């Protein structure tokens, strides 16, 4: 049975964590202490439940809590070897755990356990961090909170910080919490409600103080050259910059990107002070682990010619990498982990917006959100004081902390298609849908492009949230719609690596029955549609310089000759030859182009469900629902071909195992001798 203290703790954590004004994503932690019965002795035992390492307060569940014995945790004070060896205490926490299971205790466990209060909240609110990073934060804290909130100077999270906060609680009985210099806030209470009230009071009081005392225009005056471009122009500019930029930031390892152009970012970038402030970097320890110590900032007018922008980004990226390596060299010691890559995580383009990057779409999004947090923090701090984040040497001690390195080493191995962005046309149904699902399951971010927007969105939602898949409307016969879909992919995930030309339809008519409109429709969707998609995608692939894959879902009918199929089979043969032509042309850019020849995929196929299946079944004299099995009997392997079988082949073609294969067609037809390739 869940302990009542745990029920309250989870509810409070979810309430606090779901409002971004209270804490940033996965930032902060909460705890409760209470008495339970020790099953070994039958005696009462005081326990602490505290959010464990990782996870987010907004979605915290009981499984995310570490459970420790308070007496043993406090006894650690007796063996504490001092601040210079405080990291050793993290391993010692394991010896204070109660029972089995539960999350691993985080570095912040000490601050919760050592403070003599039943309930403790540690949070990273923008308003609180504005105080924490203001040059005269200590004075401001006294002025705004009059002794009820105490200033604790910056110190890297750990056992000593826990002792510092415990001392504040002892020495200031009237205090309800503290501002942790350069970091965030911690509040406490005798009950869960009281702790939550105190946390909210500090956050709201801090914001009210900034609103009341802050000077207008803390980021300086607006600069004309950096004024936001109009909506459409801005997004077109972002889409034009994104591929080249992604290539740059993927110098050390491939990254996924996210574009954000909300009002907070555009306002910051339009102001005179943004270059100075951006150079100071982010501050909250949680922030810059994801954002890197500082962003890369383009220093050209919003309307500068595109080629000038790209050339300048090349220069700035070179400088960024050199500066980062110099930062590493300035602070690294013999025992420091190796440099983790010198590419930026945040790139700011005045007038256009922000690109954020990470190893997954989720980490890229969170990095962007953290930078928005940082902008809010800078605005608050600059409005009442001067923004003064922790010194560079301390940032390095966080970024290359042995404990962080250990966390990174424990991360699961990335999936085979991690960091790859895929666009699958016609993916709202049948084979395309199966392909999208498989690519996503292998770690790719997927854009579902289809005529049918509602179904495209449904399929995307079924695969996962916006960090995994997005649905867009695209008629592949329309040049502008194709460009818009490719742009949408680039803005959602930073670029594009893998394109599947799958959209199609089949009319199956004899020569004499085939109208010009039939002919045009089939050729428009398949031959011309694939050409348009491949052309728009290839521009991105070439700009990125990261190679890539284009896969055509052609057909057995591209080589097999039979009656009643002139338009469909001819356009499939056109697609098949596009594979060879583009393999020859795009090879020098590292882009592989391959095709798949499926046959008889009845299940899930809109082509078959839309009347064609019924007709075929009537021709063969079998019930429609047995058509798949009937086709299976005609194959060499006697197996029914399913959408997943085609999806498997797409995955294999794009996996690193087939890195040296281009211009190939793979039959996925369970064996049809008449369609053997030779």
Ligand X SMILES: NC(=O)c1ccc[n+]([C@@H]2O[C@H](COP(=O)([O-])OP(=O)(O)OC[C@H]3O[C@@H](n4cnc5c(N)ncnc54)[C@H](O)[C@@H]3O)[C@@H](O)[C@H]2O)c1
Strand ranges inside 6-147, DSSP E? 29-37, 44-51, 65-69, 119-123
Q: Return the closest-CA partner of residue 374 out of 39, 132, 58.
A: 132
Closest distance of CB 449 from ligand X, Å: 7
Rounded to an integer, what distance in angstroms lies between the CA atom of residue 286 and that of residue 363? 13
Three-state secondary structure call for residue 447: strand
Q: Per CB under 6 A, does 598 bind ligand X?
A: yes
Q: Candidates 55-63, 129-137, 360-368, 472-480: pick the segment binding ligand X (CB under 6 A).
A: 472-480
* Contact present, 532 and 487 (Cβ < 8 Å): no
Q: Which is nearer to Zn ion, 398 or 449 (CB)?
A: 398
Rounded to an integer, what distance in angstroms lies between the CA atom of residue 458 and that of residue 231? 27
Q: Which is nearer to Zn ion, 285 or 495 (CB)?
A: 285
Rounded to an integer, what distance in angstroms lies between the CA atom of residue 136 and that of residue 387? 9
Q: Per CB under 6 A, does 282 bind ligand X?
A: no
Q: Per CB under 6 A, does 565 bind ligand X?
A: no
Q: Return the closest-CA partner of residue 524 out of 456, 570, 472, 583.
A: 570
Q: Per CB under 6 A, does 670 bind ligand X?
A: no
Catalytic member of 320, 357, 387, 568: 568
Of 175-214, binders to Zn ion (CB under 5 A) are 184
Q: 638 forms bridges with which residues in the sheet?
A: none
Q: Candidates 134-142, 182-190, 337-345, 425-433: pick the segment binding ligand X (CB under 6 A).
A: 425-433
Q: Which does 505 bind (CB under 5 to 8 A by kind): ligand X, Zn ion, none?
A: ligand X
Q: Candidates 268-276, 300-308, 322-330, 424-432: pick the segment binding ligand X (CB under 6 A).
A: 424-432
* Contact present, 480 and 232 (Cβ < 8 Å): no
Q: Per CB under 6 A, does 450 bind ligand X?
A: yes
Q: Candidates 34-42, 193-201, 401-409, 444-452: pick the segment binding ligand X (CB under 6 A).
A: 444-452
Is 568 one of the catalytic residues? yes
Q: Which is nearer to Zn ion, 108 or 467 (CB)?
A: 108
Q: Candidates 32-40, 101-109, 468-476, 489-497: pick the segment binding ligand X (CB under 6 A).
A: 468-476
Closest distance of CB 34 from Zn ion, Å: 24
Rounded to an integer, what distance in angstroms lies between the CA atom of residue 134 and that of residue 384? 8
Helix, strand, coil tally for the chain in percent (to 5): 50, 15, 35
Closest distance of CB 513 from ligand X, Å: 19
* Contact present, 270 and 227 (Cβ < 8 Å): yes
Q: Which does 482 bind (CB under 5 to 8 A by kind): Zn ion, ligand X, none?
A: none
User: What are the angstrom distances between the C-alpha of 53 and each of 63, 66, 188, 337, 676?
Assistant: 11, 8, 20, 21, 56
* DSSP-derived secondary structure for 339-350: P-----SEEEET
Q: Per CB under 6 A, does 428 bind ligand X?
A: yes
Three-state secondary structure call for residue 495: coil
Binding residue for ligand X, selected from 28, 52, 285, 432, defined by CB under 6 A: 432
Q: Which does 256 bind (CB under 5 to 8 A by kind): ligand X, Zn ion, none?
A: none
Q: Return the closest-CA partner of residue 8 out of 72, 71, 60.
A: 60
Closest distance of CB 336 from ligand X, Å: 52
Closest distance of CB 383 from Zn ion, Å: 23
Q: Which is nearer to ligand X, 368 or 628 (CB)?
A: 628
CB within 8 Å of 104: residues ≥ 6 apart = 52, 53, 66, 94
Q: Which residues contact ligand X (rule: CB under 6 A)?
A: 425-426, 428-432, 450-452, 474-477, 502-506, 525, 529, 553, 555, 598-601, 605-607
Positions that interact with Zn ion (CB under 5 A) = 184
């Amino acid at each position: 049975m869940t302990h009542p203290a745990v029920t309250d703790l989870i509810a409070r954590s979810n309430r606090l964590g779901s409002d971004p004004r209270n804490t940033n994503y996965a930032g902060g932690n909460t705890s409760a202490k209470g008495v339970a019965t020790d099953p070994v002795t039958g005696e009462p035992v005081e326990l602490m439940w505290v959010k464990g390492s990782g996870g987010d307060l907004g979605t915290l569940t009981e499984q995310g809590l570490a459970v420790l014995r308070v007496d043993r945790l406090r006894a650690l004070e007796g063996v504490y070897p001092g601040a210079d060896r405080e990291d050793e205490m993290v391993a010692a926490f394991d010896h204070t755990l109660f029972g089995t299971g539960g999350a691993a205790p985080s570095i912040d466990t000490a601050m919760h356990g050592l403070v003599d209060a039943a309930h403790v909240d540690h949070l990273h609110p923008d308003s609180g961090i504005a105080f924490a990073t203001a040059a005269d934060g200590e004075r401001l804290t006294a002025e705004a909170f009059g002794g009820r909130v105490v200033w604790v100077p910056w110190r890297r999270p750990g056992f000593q910080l826990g002792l510092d906060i415990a001392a504040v609680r002892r020495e200031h009985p009237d205090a309800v919490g503290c501002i942790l210099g350069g970091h965030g806030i911690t509040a406490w209470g005798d009950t869960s409600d009281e702790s939550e009230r105190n946390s909210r009071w500090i956050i709201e009081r801090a914001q009210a103080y900034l609103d009341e005392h802050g000077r207008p225009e803390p980021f300086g005056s607006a600069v004309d050259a950096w004024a936001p471009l109009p909506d459409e122009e801005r997004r077109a500019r972002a889409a034009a910059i994104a591929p080249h930029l992604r290539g740059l930031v993927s110098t050390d390892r491939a990254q996924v990107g996210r574009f954000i152009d909300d009002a907070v970012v555009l306002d910051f970038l339009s102001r005179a002070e943004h270059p100075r402030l951006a150079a100071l970097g982010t501050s909250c320890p949680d922030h810059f682990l994801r954002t890197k110590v500082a962003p890369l900032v383009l220093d050209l007018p919003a309307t500068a010619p595109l080629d000038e922008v790209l050339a300048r980004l090349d220069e700035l990226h070179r400088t960024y990498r050199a500066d980062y390596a110099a930062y590493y060299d300035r602070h690294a010691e013999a025992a420091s982990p190796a440099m983790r890559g010198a590419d930026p995580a945040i790139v700011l383009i005045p007038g256009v917006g922000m690109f954020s990057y990470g190893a997954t779409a989720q980490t890229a999004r969170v990095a962007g959100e953290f930078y928005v947090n940082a902008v809010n923090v800078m605005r608050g701090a600059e409005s009442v004081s001067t923004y003064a984040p922790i010194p560079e040497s301390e940032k390095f001690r966080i970024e290359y902390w042995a404990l962080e390195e250990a966390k990174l080493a424990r991360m699961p191995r990335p999936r085979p298609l991690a960091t790859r962005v895929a666009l699958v046309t016609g993916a709202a149904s049948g084979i395309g849908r199966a392909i999208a699902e498989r690519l996503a399951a292998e770690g790719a971010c997927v854009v579902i492009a289809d005529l049918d927007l509602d179904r495209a969105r449904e399929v995307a939602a079924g695969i996962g949230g916006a960090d995994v898949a997005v649905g867009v409307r695209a008629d592949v016969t329309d040049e502008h719609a194709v460009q818009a879909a490719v742009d949408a992919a680039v803005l959602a995930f930073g670029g594009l690596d893998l394109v599947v030309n799958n959209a199609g339809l089949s009319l199956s008519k004899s020569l004499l029955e085939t109208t010009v409109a039939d002919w045009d429709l089939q050729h428009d969707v398949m031959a011309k549609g694939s050409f348009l998609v491949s052309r728009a995608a290839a521009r991105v692939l070439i700009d990125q310089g990261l190679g890539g894959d284009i896969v055509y879902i052609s057909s057995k009918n591209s080589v097999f000759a039979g009656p009643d199929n002139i338009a469909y089979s001819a356009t499939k043969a056109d697609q098949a030859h596009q594979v060879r032509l583009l393999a020859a042309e795009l090879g020098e850019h590292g882009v592989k182009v391959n095709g798949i020849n499926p046959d008889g995929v009845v299940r899930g196929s809109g082509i078959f469900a839309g009347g064609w299946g019924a007709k075929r079944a009537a021709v063969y004299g079998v019930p429609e629902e047995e058509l798949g099995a009937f086709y299976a009997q005609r194959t060499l392997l006697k197996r029914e071909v399913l959408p997943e079988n085609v999806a498997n082949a797409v995955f294999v073609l794009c996996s690193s195992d087939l890195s040296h294969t281009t211009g190939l067609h793979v039959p996925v037809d369970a064996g049809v001798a008449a369609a053997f390739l030779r």
